[in-house]
Amino acid sequence: MTELRDLELELSRFRRRVAAAAAFVLVAFALLLARLVYLQVFRHEDLATQAEANRIAVVPIVPNRGLIVDRHGVVLATNYSAYTLEIASPRGADGGRGADLDALIDALAGVVSIEPRDRRRFKRLQEELKGAESLPIRTRLSDAEVARFLAQRFRFPGVEVKARLFRSYPLGEVGSHLLGYIGRVNPAEKAAMEDWDEAEQGNYKGTEYIGKLGLEQSYERVLHGTAGFEEVETSAGGHAVRRLDSHPPTPGDKLVLSVDIKLQALVEALFGERRGALVALDPRTGEVLAFVSKPTFDPNLFVDGIDVESWRELNESIDKPLLNRALRGTYPPGSTYKPFMAMAALNTGKRSPGTLINDPGFYMFGGHRFGSPENERGGIMDMNRAIVESSNVYFYTLANEMGVDLMHEQLEPMGFGRKTGIDVEGEVTGDLPSTAWKRKRFKRPEQQRWYAGETISLGIGQGYNNFTMLQLASATATLTSGGLRFKPRLVREIEDVISGERKGVASDALEPLPFKAEQVEIIRRALQGVTQVGTSRGSFVGAGYTSGGKTGTAQAVGAKANEKYNAARLEEHKRDHALYIAAAPIAAPTVALAVIVENAGWGAQAAAPIARRVFDYLLLGQYPSAADIAAVREGRATAPIGVPRRAADVPLPGQAMAPVAAGAAP
């Protein structure tokens, strides 16, 4: 009996357990069913969209960057396709196993050639582009190297060969400062892009390179083009298996410059190893014909990341090859300032052309002696002779009569002390002093006060005066053209590479200055006299046109009191600068220029000969002989020597001078 009761008790417990288990299973199935109903009915559309997104990837297609050509169609910046070897993420390039990156690169070096400079460039990119998806360890792989790597790709997880477009500057260092260069987008630029509107951000999806300097930077949006996209079906591992749809990118537009690159290359050759700048422009339109800064650099070095040694060489050089001297270098104008002072005197009535001033070779003011060059003849000066013979005393006295604020009022509209508005970023204002300028410039009260003695040296382009060659060339164009003013332009036209349509980019005309024709003629005659009987006559002997100009010599460092200047005793970088301004034909100028040769001494010896060759090229179609170029760059030529060549027959360095076909794609 007892055994029967125990059996029934056990059966009762078993049944309860079975019932509990069945209830649990039913509840679980009910929950599962409810979840399935929720996912299939209520979340169907949302989950279907996510599933499609996981299956389909939208991949941006970066457009070809637009070409840059000169006024004659010579290609200055183009693109080419090449393979790169890239490490996807240096920290995880080994598939997450934490192997040493150097060991990985050593292993890669057994498959493709990796030079020490490649390693240095890679490490530099690591520091500058933290967070980048991939970094190149080698660029421009050969087909054989690509084949060798692909055959052993399984050994290198996280390392890929990619086909990329590279920017190329066929003429190397020629025109580097006006062209600029492109480089990888850095973190600061990525952060700045976050402030762009959605359309602009979308257009730069996948873009890894942007313009960093010069026209490449200033016309970035024009050159970039419009990004395309591809819809691709991907596998579970994220690999593309099928293209579903595509929208091709639109290449960037072509920039057609006003610059004549053969003239640009000639001027750079005439400078040789010397430092300086030259800007030549058309006074009738504001178009820039040459925009030279020396020394130059090779922009190709920056395209795929410059190596440490090359960067250090450029960045730490005492010659500052990365400084755009035409745009950002500021210098005292020296005696080239005198014609502008003369026009200000005529415009204000402070001096008439026939006013006579005695020049004894010095000027005393406040107990201080303001001197003149030893070779200055002195004597009785009217305005014409004062400009032709470059009398310091004449302009010392004029500055004293006008005062600093009146000089500022008259000279600022000519283009001094303000930006010209040229279509390239980075221009500086220079310094055109006034009493207000000094109060703003300095902090201490005793520094803010303007002293009468400071005015005197301003008359001969010294003191606080500091301007760029762009400002000086623009002011020369305004003065010799009778008051015409333009914002200078480097880009002449923008061409749509799809339609071939060209849109002209006119220089913005500013309100002309109210110069009187007879006063302009007085200045022109004086400038012409400089080239015929004055300081630059030696450079313009036998010229087939009439030009006007003014030489100048400007201090690079201030001279000590009562110490006579002696170039031989000074370090080369501390010697005086040589300047020259000019326009031709002087009666109705079609070209105006300003040139400086740093630490070269007299403008007549170093700067004026360069101007002569520019005019010969533009007005006569002549290209100097090889012997003449060598003599100019060594500072031992005035008038041309040897037989000049036809400019059209002289090719560019390393180029056959074949112009690009209109509308050609990059």
- Kindly state whether residues 421 and 379 are assigned to the same domain: yes
Higher-pLDDT residue of 277 and 40 is 277
- Kindly state whether residues 230 and 374 are assigned to the same domain: no
Q: Which two tokens stand for residue 159?
A: 């390392």
Q: What Rg value do the Cα atoms of the chain yield, rounded? A: 35
Q: Percent of the chain, pLDDT > 70?
A: 87
Q: Quick check: 402 pLDDT over 90?
A: yes
Measured between alpha carbons, how far apart are the two ends of the chain, in Å? 104
3-state SS assignment for residue 333? coil
Q: Quick check: 133 pLDDT over 90?
A: no
Instruction: Give the C-alpha separation, 502 to 170, whole Å.
Output: 23
Active site residues: 335
- Kindly state whether residues 273 and 183 are assigned to the same domain: no
- Kindly state whether residues 336 and 190 are assigned to the same domain: no
Q: What is the length of the chain? A: 666
Torsion angle of the four alpha carbons 17, 22, 23, 24, in this order, in degrees rounded to the nearest 10: 90
Are 252 and 224 contacting, i.e. CB atoms less than 8 angstroms apart?
Answer: yes
* Average pLDDT in the chain: 86
- Kindly state whether residues 141 and 75 are assigned to the same domain: yes
What are 79-126's pLDDT values in tens digits? 988 888 888 765 444 444 345 788 888 888 888 888 888 888 888 777
Q: What is the DSSP letter of 501?
A: -
Q: For 369, phi and psi rounded to 5 degrees?
A: -95, 120
- Report the CATH number that the domain containing residue 572 is assigned in CATH: 3.40.710.10
- Kindly state whether residues 334 and 388 are assigned to the same domain: yes
pLDDT at 94: 43
121 located within any domain: no
- Kindly state whether residues 423 and 555 are assigned to the same domain: yes
204 located within any domain: yes
Q: Which two tokens stand for residue 653?
A: 């360095």
95 located within any domain: no
Stretch 587-607: mean pLDDT, rounded?
A: 93
pLDDT at 65: 93
Instruction: Give the C-alpha separation, 573 to 521, whole Å.
Output: 38
Instruction: Give the C-alpha separation, 235 to 56, whole Å.
Output: 9
For 425-431, the CB contacts below 8 A with 24+ separation are 425/217, 425/218, 426/213, 426/324, 426/327, 426/328, 427/327, 427/328, 427/468, 427/470, 428/327, 428/328, 428/330, 428/468, 430/330, 430/466, 430/467, 430/468, 430/471, 431/330, 431/464, 431/465, 431/466, 431/467
What are 356-375's pLDDT values in tens digits? 999 999 999 988 999 887 66
- Kindly state whether residues 338 and 391 are assigned to the same domain: yes
Q: Which two tokens stand for residue 17?
A: 């357990």
Interstrand relation of 68-69 and 254-257 (parallel, antiparallel or unpaired): parallel
302 located within any domain: yes
3-state SS assignment for residue 630? helix
- Kindly state whether residues 490 and 559 are assigned to the same domain: yes
Torsion angle of the four alpha carbons 452, 457, 458, 462, in this order, in degrees rounded to the nearest 10: -140
Are 488 and 355 contacting, i.e. CB atoms less than 8 angstroms apart?
Answer: no
Q: Quick check: 137 pLDDT over 90?
A: no
Domain stop point among 257, 273, 303: 257
Q: What letter represents residue 173's amino acid?
A: E
What are 205-224's pLDDT values in tens digits? 878 889 999 999 999 999 99
Number of domains in the chain: 2
Owning domain of residue 191: 58-89+134-257
Are 138 and 166 contacting, i.e. CB atoms less than 8 angstroms apart?
Answer: no
Residue-by-residue DSSP string for 107-171: HHHTTS---HHHHHHHHHHHHHSTT-S-EEEEEEE-HHHHHHHHHTGGG-TTEEEEEEEEEE-TT
Stretch 449-460: mean pLDDT, rounded?
A: 95
What are 531-579's pLDDT values in tens digits? 999 999 999 999 999 999 999 998 876 554 445 555 556 777 788 899 9
Q: Identify each DSSP E strand in 395-490 by its residue range.
A: 485-486
- Report the CATH number that the domain containing residue 225 is assigned in CATH: 3.90.1310.10
Of 124-133, 312-321, 391-400, the poorest mean pLDDT is in 124-133
128 located within any domain: no
- Kindly state whether residues 242 and 289 are assigned to the same domain: no
110 located within any domain: no
Tell me the pLDDT band of 663, cut-offs 50, 70 and 90. very low
Residue-by-residue DSSP string for 511-578: PPP---HHHHHHHHHHHHHHHHTSTTGGGGTT-SS--EEEEEEE-SSPPPTT----GGGS-GGGSPEE
pLDDT at 178: 96
Residues 500-514 as b/e (b if ≥16 CB within 10 A, e otherwise) read: eebeebebeebeebe
pLDDT at 385: 96
Q: Which two tokens stand for residue 333?
A: 């104008």
Q: How far is CA 143 from CA 83, 109, 114, 149, in A?
A: 8, 16, 15, 10
Tell me the pLDDT band of 647, cut-offs 50, 70 and 90. very high
Tally of CA atoms within 13 A in the half-sphere of 123 that contains its CB: 10
Q: Quick check: 271 pLDDT over 80?
A: yes
30 located within any domain: no
Domain stop point among 257, 285, 312: 257
Higher-pLDDT residue of 530 and 226 is 530
pLDDT at 540: 96
Q: Quick check: 596 pLDDT over 70?
A: yes
Are 484 and 285 contacting, i.e. CB atoms less than 8 angstroms apart?
Answer: no
**pTM of the predicted protein model:** 0.84
462 located within any domain: yes
- Counting DSSP H helices and E strands in the chain, the numbers are 26, 25
Interstrand relation of 276-281 and 622-623 (parallel, antiparallel or unpaired): unpaired
Place of tokens 């990888």: 184
Name the burial class of residue 620, with classes exposed (0-12), middle (13-18) and buried (19+) by CB atoms within 10 angstroms of its CB. Answer: middle
- Kindly state whether residues 509 and 638 are assigned to the same domain: yes
Of 185, 112, 181, 124, the C-alpha closest to 150 is 112
- Kindly state whether residues 439 and 336 are assigned to the same domain: yes
Of 230-239, 288-297, 526-535, 559-568, the poorest mean pLDDT is in 559-568
Stretch 192-208: mean pLDDT, rounded?
A: 83
pLDDT at 666: 33
